[in-house]
Amino acid sequence: MPSKSNDNIRPLKLADGTTVNALYPRIVSASRSTDIPAFYLDWFFKRLDAGYSVWTNPFNGKQMYVAYADTRFIVFWSKNPAPLLPRLNHLARKGLGCYVQYTLNDYVREGYEPNVPPLEERLETFRQLSRALGSQAVIWRFDPLLLTDRLRADDLLRKIACIGNALHGYAEKLVFSFADINCYRKVRANLLRKGIRWEDWTSESMRAFAAKLQDLNTRRGWGYVLATCAEEIDLDDLGIAHNRCIDDRLMLRLAPDDAELRQALGYELRQTPGQLPLSDQIAAHHRTQDAVDLGHGRLAFKTGGKHSPDSGQRKACGCVTSKDIGQYNTCKHGCVYCYANSSEETAMANHAAHTRHSDAPTVTPVNS
**Residues 124, 108 contacting (CB under 8 angstroms):** no
What is the share, in percent, of the chain residues with pLDDT greater than 70?
Answer: 91
Q: What are phi and psi of 104, to 5 degrees?
A: -125, 90
pLDDT (average), residues 10-17: 96
DSSP 335: -
Facing residues of 9 across strands? 23
Q: What is the pLDDT of residues 99-121, one digit of tens each?
A: 999 999 999 999 999 999 999 99
pLDDT at 3 exceeding the cut of 60: no
First to last CA, the chain: 16
Domain boundaries, the chain: 9-266+304-356
CA distance 330 to 56: 13
Kindly indicate the confidence band of residue 306, based on its pLDDT and cuts at 50, 70 and 90.
low
Which tens digit of pLDDT belongs to each residue from 158-200? 999 999 999 999 999 999 999 999 888 889 999 999 999 999 9
Mean pLDDT, residues 121-132:
98
Which one is predicted more confidently, 279 or 294?
Answer: 294
Distance CA 313, CA 2 (A): 7
- Decide which of 71 and 270 is more confident: 71
pTM (2 decimals)?
0.93
Q: Quote the pLDDT of residue 99.
A: 98
Percent of the chain's residues with pLDDT above 90: 83
